[in-house]
A and B are shown apart, each in its own frame.
Chain A
């Protein structure tokens, strides 16, 4: 069914709010932080004008945002929220409670560099700093992908009881107008059934999941969380496939590729810079360099098998990291990639540069030149 599809010009932030509306979320706790603020403003307005039947809770800080979110989720509500940078760091403790409590909250993080010194603009240090919190993390490269991914995120989160963070760049995505295709609500309702938790806070069946737990009980549940995060990979693929069948839209599943099949030089990057890199690949191809792009759409769980299978033989992989891997040379993506290739793809060479920190502009020409320089290294 392709009825009632609309195409509008919307910012990435508004696309995120619209996705929450299409997901028919119940509770949205929120707190302002640049560049996320416009998502919360949009949700608050939608709730006020009746467009979204939900409760918006304007709490007093991000720690409380996620504390309200996990509790509402435990009560049986579908919960949405969003944050950025220091707000995400302030939530860190509660991120663990959401994953350990197996509460399927979906949260957008609008990527922004971390204080100090203050910056307002994008890099990926904030979301990568939450690597070990037990959340599934998507990273998106367009406004449309933000919208599509939030809906897929609810599907995955509620199937496997693990919270999902949907990341996209501040300003480049959150504040830029791009065409946005909105599917029919009834199609989304088919894709995303109502939230029916297998456990909730219910006086008819009083119970608790959060008592002090001795090691012999604690350890198996932590092991299960570790295994279930890995088990999300087929669910992520299935969600992307079924979303395509219902809406006709596709952003990749665990990975997204561009001109990859015969590539000798593979660019490896995430988020908005990866969209721009498709144009850098075209420039390099025009200059006779067999370039291609591999963009992990899923950062956690890291799609190791899909990457290993997608990389052409003997490729040089140029990892462009918009973050620092402090204590190691280069960035975090490069380290992750090397760890999955080790012993599996000894034909692959990995090179790494850090760029675009704190919103430094990354043009197609600049990145094409960087990649050419890396080839000669």
Chain B
């Protein structure tokens, strides 16, 4: 391809945060109790937002929208939803 000499179209490029810092949408925050966690990765696979690290089972709160699917799907009850302070 030729080098872009003129942007004829409004090009969008892949990036995290295309919807902004979506963590600010959250009303409740998922908190992982690592003592109960068996690292089954159910939370990782069902997370719509891809914010859960599948190895460490840690959550990227900058983008986690707080839907709570991970807490419902966790088979050991290791994830609880804690109300965000204002």
Q: Which residue of A lies closest to B18 (CB)?
A: A211
B11 touches A198 (CB 8 A): no
Residue A362 at the B interface, CB < 8 A?
no
A102 touches B14 (CB 8 A): no
Q: Which residue of B lies closest to A101 (CB)?
A: B9
Interface residues of B in 1-37 (CB under 8 A from A): 1-6, 8-14
B2, B3, B8, B10 — most chain A CB neighbours (10 Å): B8
Give the residues in chain A near B11, CB-CB below 8 Å.
199, 207-209
B3, B11, B14 — most chain A CB neighbours (10 Å): B11
Residue A346 at the B interface, CB < 8 A?
no
Give the residues in chain A near B3, CB-CB below 8 Å.
198
Give the residues in chain B near A209, CB-CB below 8 Å.
9-12
Chain A nearest CB from B1 CB (Å) reads: 7
Partner of B1, one of A199, A208, A211, A228: A199
B3, B12, B14 — most chain A CB neighbours (10 Å): B12
Give the residues in chain A near B1, CB-CB below 8 Å.
196-200, 202, 205
Q: Number of B interface residues, CB 8 Å?
A: 13
Q: Which residue of B lies closest to A197 (CB)?
A: B1
Give the residues in chain A near B10, CB-CB below 8 Å.
209, 211, 213, 217-218, 221
Asked whether A207 and B13 contact (CB < 8 A) given A198-B2, A200-B1, A202-B1, the answer is: yes
1/0 contact trace for B54-84 toward A, CB 8 Å?
A: 0000000000000000000000000000000
Query: CA A210 – CA B13 in complex, angstroms?
Result: 11
Query: CA A199 – CA B2 in complex, angstroms?
Result: 8
Interface residues of A in 131-166 (CB under 8 A from B): 161
Chain A nearest CB from B16 CB (Å) reads: 14
Residue A360 at the B interface, CB < 8 A?
no
A198 touches B4 (CB 8 A): yes
Residue A288 at the B interface, CB < 8 A?
no
Residue A224 at the B interface, CB < 8 A?
yes
Query: CA A199 – CA B10 in complex, angstroms?
Result: 11
Asked whether A206 and B9 contact (CB < 8 A) given A196-B2, A199-B1, A200-B1, the answer is: no
Query: CA A224 – CA B11 in complex, angstroms?
Result: 14
1/0 contact trace for A187-231 toward B, CB 8 Å?
A: 000000000111110100111111101000110010010001000
Query: CA A229 – CA B24 in complex, angstroms?
Result: 43
Q: Which residue of B lies closest to A161 (CB)?
A: B8
Q: Which residue of A lies closest to B5 (CB)?
A: A198
Q: Which residue of A lies closest to B13 (CB)?
A: A207
Give the residues in chain A near B12, CB-CB below 8 Å.
207-209, 211
Query: CA A210 – CA B8 in complex, angstroms?
Result: 12
Give the residues in chain B near A200, CB-CB below 8 Å.
1
Query: CA A196 – CA B3 in complex, angstroms?
Result: 10
Give the residues in chain A near B2, CB-CB below 8 Å.
196-198
Query: CA A209 – CA B14 in complex, angstroms?
Result: 12
Chain B nearest CB from A37 CB (Å) reads: 33
Query: CA A305 – CA B5 in complex, angstroms?
Result: 29
B9 touches A199 (CB 8 A): yes
1/0 contact trace for A31-60 toward B, CB 8 Å?
A: 000000000000000000000000000000
1/0 contact trace for B32-49 toward A, CB 8 Å?
A: 000000000000000000
Give the residues in chain B near A210, CB-CB below 8 Å.
9
Given A101-B9, A102-B8, A221-B8, 18 new contacts (CB under 8 A): A196-B2, A197-B2, A198-B1, A198-B2, A198-B3, A199-B1, A199-B4, A200-B1, A202-B1, A205-B1, A207-B14, A208-B12, A209-B11, A209-B12, A213-B10, A217-B10, A221-B9, A221-B10
Q: Give 10 closest A-B pairs by Cβ, nearest first.
A: A209-B9, A102-B8, A211-B12, A161-B8, A208-B12, A198-B2, A207-B11, A198-B4, A213-B10, A217-B10
Ordered by A's residue number, 6 sampled pairs between the chains whose C-beta atoms are within 8 Å are A198-B1, A198-B2, A198-B5, A206-B13, A218-B10, A224-B8
